[in-house]
Chains A and B, each alone.
Chain A
Amino acid sequence: MDVQRIEEIENYLQGKLSKKKQEVFESRLNQDSKLKEEVALHQKMMRGLQELSFREELDKAYSDRHGKSKGRSNWRNKKSISIAASIVFMIVAVWLLYPENGSSLEKELVEVSYDPGLPTSLGLSDQLDFGEGMNAYKTKDYKQAKSYWQPLLVENPSNDTLLYYLAQIELIEKQFEPAAEKLRAIGQEKASVFKEKATWYLAISYLRMNKQEEAKVLLNYILTEGGYEAEKAGVLLDHLQEK
Chain B
Amino acid sequence: MARMISFLGTKKNKLTDEQLVDGLLNNRRIVINHFYSEIFPQVKALLVRMGAKEEEIKDTFQEGMVALWKNIQNQTYSRNSNAKLSSYLIEICKRRWLEDVRNKKSKSSLAIDQEGLSSHDPNVLDKWLKREELQDFQRLFGQLNVRCQEMLRRFYYEKESLRKMAGDFSLTEASVRNEKYRCMQRLKTIFQSQMP
Q: Point out residues on A near B: beta carbons under 8 Å.
A: 2-3, 6, 13, 15, 39-55, 57-59, 61-62, 64-66, 118, 120, 124-125, 127-132, 134-135, 143, 147
Give min CB distance, A230 to chain B, whole Å: 29
Inter-chain contact B1/A3, CB cutoff 8 Å: no
Inter-chain contact A51/B36, CB cutoff 8 Å: no
Inter-chain contact B125/A54, CB cutoff 8 Å: no
Top-3 shortest CB links A-B = A53-B157, A48-B137, A125-B2
Taking CB atoms, residues of chain B closer than 8 Å to A64 are 33, 36
How distant is the Cα of A41 from the Cα of B129 in the complex, in angstroms? 11
Inter-chain contact A131/B6, CB cutoff 8 Å: yes
A-B contact pairs, 16 of them (CB 8 A): A40-B125, A43-B125, A45-B184, A48-B134, A49-B141, A51-B70, A61-B29, A61-B35, A64-B36, A120-B9, A128-B1, A132-B28, A132-B29, A135-B30, A147-B164, A147-B168
How distant is the Cα of A131 from the Cα of B84 in the complex, in angstroms? 25
How distant is the Cα of A130 from the Cα of B9 in the complex, in angstroms? 12
Contact pick for B129, options A13, A47, A54, A134, CB 8 Å: A47
Taking CB atoms, residues of chain A closer than 8 Å to B153 are 49, 53
Inter-chain contact A57/B29, CB cutoff 8 Å: yes
Contact pick for B62, options A62, A120, A132, CB 8 Å: A62
Taking CB atoms, residues of chain A closer than 8 Å to B33 are 61, 64, 135
Instruction: Please name 15 further chain A to chain B contacts, defined as beta carbons within 8 Å, in addition to the given A127-B8, A132-B28, sorted by A numbering.
Output: A2-B181, A6-B181, A39-B125, A40-B124, A43-B125, A45-B184, A45-B187, A45-B191, A48-B137, A58-B65, A64-B33, A65-B36, A125-B4, A129-B1, A135-B29
Give min CB distance, A150 to chain B, whole Å: 10
Taking CB atoms, residues of chain B closer than 8 Å to A50 are 27, 73, 156-157
Contact pick for A52, options B32, B40, B134, CB 8 Å: B134
Inter-chain contact A58/B73, CB cutoff 8 Å: no
What 1/0 mask marks residues of chain B from 43 to 76 whose CB sits below 8 Å from any chain A CB? Answer: 0000000000000001001100110011001010
Q: Is B37 an interface residue (CB 8 A)?
A: yes
How distant is the Cα of A53 from the Cα of B9 in the complex, in angstroms? 27
Give min CB distance, B86 to chain A, whole Å: 16
Inter-chain contact B4/A128, CB cutoff 8 Å: yes
Please classify how large the interface on chain B is, using the bins under 10, 10 to 19, 20 to 34, 35 or more.
Answer: 35 or more
Contact pick for B58, options A54, A62, A128, CB 8 Å: A62
Inter-chain contact B6/A124, CB cutoff 8 Å: yes
Taking CB atoms, residues of chain B closer than 8 Å to A130 are 8
Taking CB atoms, residues of chain A closer than 8 Å to B62 are 55, 58-59, 62
Q: Given that A61-B36, A128-B1, A147-B168 are contacting pairs, would A49 and B157 also be in contact in the complex, using a CB cutoff of 8 Å?
A: yes
Chain B residues 149-166 with CB under 8 Å of chain A are 152-153, 156-158, 164
Inter-chain contact A51/B4, CB cutoff 8 Å: no
* Closest B residue to A3 using CB positions: B181
Give min CB distance, B83 to chain A, whole Å: 22
Inter-chain contact A61/B73, CB cutoff 8 Å: no
* Closest B residue to A131 using CB positions: B8
Q: Is B178 an interface residue (CB 8 A)?
A: yes
